[in-house]
A and B are shown apart, each in its own frame.
Chain A
Amino acid sequence: DGGITQSPKYLFRKEGQNVTLSCEQNLNHDAMYWYRQDPGQGLRLIYYSQIVNDFQKGDIAEGYSVSREKKESFPLTVTSAQKNPTAFYLCASSTLPGQGKGNEQFFGPGTRLTVL
């Protein structure tokens, strides 16, 4: 069963703590993405990666960090420097842009992070 998974579904964090959100895909996609979604708003790009061991900042990277040690995995760490981390976080993957195969992104089910 091919797809993209995120864990956990719900996450609670105390202020001042770092927390890591998991994202795994078995679609053999080269590109992976992290988005943040706030209530009633669209998707804002945090980080993306097109190849192992390389990643790029998106529009709202401050207070977040990522790694891409394996093609299948793209974990996101929400650090204590992120001033307003409570949000719904979505991970996505796709084939590489620029290959004319379509930029369709496949999304995971999301992780809802709440800072207590």
Chain B
Amino acid sequence: GENVEQHPSTLSVQEGDSAVIKCTYSDSASNYFPWYKQELGKGPQLIIDIRSNVGEKKDQRIAVTLNKTAKHFSLHITETQPEDSAVYFCAASNEKSSASKIIFGSGTRLSIRP
């Protein structure tokens, strides 16, 4: 079955610097890659997603890149701010399959140092 690996498990960056979180997936049929942000004591919320027909997507300070050949996708946060501190999860699924489930990575705890 599909497996998603996420690195690093923890990440600490200085406020204003950039943060990068990387994921790899195993199922070449995966074509939808969402990223979720989970704040303490809350449920995860979708922050950005990318589909396999594009290589990059940007939304203000957040960007995702996808390398289908290498089965890698990454989250980039620029000009980090204290409110970016949270746990981030990557995920992968096949949108075209009714039997497909979203498979989540193990999460990255991002801390922004003031």
- A residues touching B (Cβ–Cβ < 8 Å)? 40-43, 45, 48, 50, 58, 90, 92, 96-110, 112
Contacts and interface: CB of A to CB of B under 8 A. Distances in A.
Contacts of A98: 95-100
B47 to A, nearest CB: 11
B93 interface: yes
A48 B49 CA distance: 22
A103 B32 contact: yes
A48 B42 contact: no
A48 B101 CA distance: 9
Given A48-B101, A109-B42, A112-B41, 18 more contacts: A40-B9, A40-B109, A42-B107, A43-B104, A58-B101, A90-B43, A92-B43, A97-B97, A98-B96, A98-B100, A99-B95, A101-B95, A102-B32, A102-B95, A103-B100, A104-B49, A107-B43, A110-B42
Contact of B43 (A48, A100, A110): A110
A42 B104 contact: yes
21 contacts: A40-B9, A43-B104, A45-B101, A50-B98, A90-B44, A96-B98, A97-B93, A97-B94, A97-B98, A97-B100, A98-B95, A98-B100, A102-B49, A103-B32, A103-B100, A103-B102, A106-B46, A107-B44, A108-B43, A110-B41, A112-B41
Contacts of A97: 93-95, 97-101
B107 A104 contact: no
Nearest to A35: B104
A103 to B, nearest CB: 5
Nearest to A109: B43
Contacts of B41: 110, 112
A90 B44 CA distance: 9
A105 B99 contact: no
